[in-house]
Amino acid sequence: MICVTHDQVEAMPLADRIAVLRDGKPEQAGSPAELFEHPNSLFAAGFVGSPKMNLLTGAFATAHGYTTLGIRSEHLEVRDGGPWQGEVPHVEDLGSDHYLFVEIGSDEPVIVRRPGKANIPVGTQVSLAPLPGHLHRFDADGSPIR
């Protein structure tokens, strides 16, 4: 069966295989896990996942030697001594999860997904650490660097 949808929350649990289209052309195809864990372009990385993958650009990314760094919100930990520091300008309470928005010097705040209550008020300075093996690197063309 083929199902066409823009709703990835619907597609991810139902599909054996997913094709991500961009301007009517295939961008990436594979299992939901393959698309989520190994996006083959910036477009696929930013499209698959809820919330979308944090795509860190600008001076922050170039300071780390890349055009774009990608990290999913659930692959970031608030941890003392983490390598990335910033302030929390916004917190979203979703009931079972909280999203912390953290300004770390990238072009946009990163989103950190935390289960349960965040207990981190707006204005707090935090340190973040990406979980090992979950940082995605992209070149100027938007292709992954593996």
Summarize pLDDT for 18-32 with one digit per residue, the tens: 999 999 999 999 999
pLDDT band at 4 (very low <50, low <70, confident <90, very high): confident
Q: Domain-by-domain residue ranges, the chain?
A: 1-50, 51-146
Backbone angles phi, psi at 37, to 5 degrees: -85, -25
Distances (CA, A) of 39 to 31, 32, 113, 123: 11, 10, 20, 33
Q: What's the pLDDT at 117?
A: 84
Mean pLDDT of the chain: 93
Q: Give dist(CA 47, CA 32) in Å, integer.
A: 12
pLDDT tens for residues 35-65? Answer: 999 999 999 999 998 899 999 998 888 888 8
pLDDT band at 9 (very low <50, low <70, confident <90, very high): confident
The tokens for 65 are 């030697």
Q: What's the pLDDT at 114?
A: 94
- Cβ(95)–Cβ(49) below 8 Å: no
DSSP 8-66: HHHHHHH-SSEEEEETTEEEEEE-HHHHHHS-SSHHHHHHSSSSPPEEE-HHHHHHTTS
- First vs last C-alpha separation in the chain: 33
Highest CATH level, class, for 51-146: mainly beta
Examine residue 51 and say whether the peptide bond preceding it is cis (omega within 30 degrees of 0): yes
What is the arithmetic mean of pLDDT over 98-107? Answer: 94
